[in-house]
């Protein structure tokens, strides 16, 4: 992994459910970690390959390996939120993690 490519400050957020005053369950997001990452919008050949496995994938995010992350969580870069669709540990070497993501509307934060 080339350290110079990890130039984006990515926030890994975990989901939790809590009850509001009326007893309704609401989903809240809290920061699990803030890490350096590489955000790559998919285009051309990469986009076609991603489409074969999941038609919603629009972005690939790469970070250094970090234990404990769940694919049910999400990633943020600035105001942009990325829903994790697939999480890959290349070669099972625990060196990096690749996330195949879908951008979510900015109002969903």
With cut-offs at 50, 70 and 90, classify the pLDDT of residue 54: low
Helix (H) or strand (E) holding 14: strand 8-19
Ramachandran region, residue 94 (left: φ > 0; alpha: ψ -120 to 50; beta: rest): left
Q: Of all residues in the chain, what percent carry a pLDDT higher than 90?
A: 61
Beta pairing, strands 80-88 & 25-41: unpaired
CA distance 101 to 81: 9
49 pLDDT more than 70: no
With cut-offs at 50, 70 and 90, classify the pLDDT of residue 73: very high
- Whether this prediction's pTM lies above 0.85 is answered by no
106 pLDDT more than 50: yes
């Amino acid at each position: 992994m080339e350290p110079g490519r990890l130039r984006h400050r990515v926030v890994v957020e975990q989901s939790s459910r809590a009850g509001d005053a009326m007893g309704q369950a609401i989903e809240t997001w809290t920061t699990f970690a803030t890490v350096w990452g590489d955000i790559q919008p998919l285009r051309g050949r990469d986009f076609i390959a991603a489409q074969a496995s999941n038609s919603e994938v629009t972005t690939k995010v790469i970070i250094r390996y970090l234990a404990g992350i769940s694919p049910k969580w999400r990633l943020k870069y600035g105001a942009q939120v990325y829903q994790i669709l697939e999480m890959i540990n290349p070669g099972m070497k625990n060196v990096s993690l690749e996330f195949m993501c879908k951008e979510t509307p900015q109002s969903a934060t």
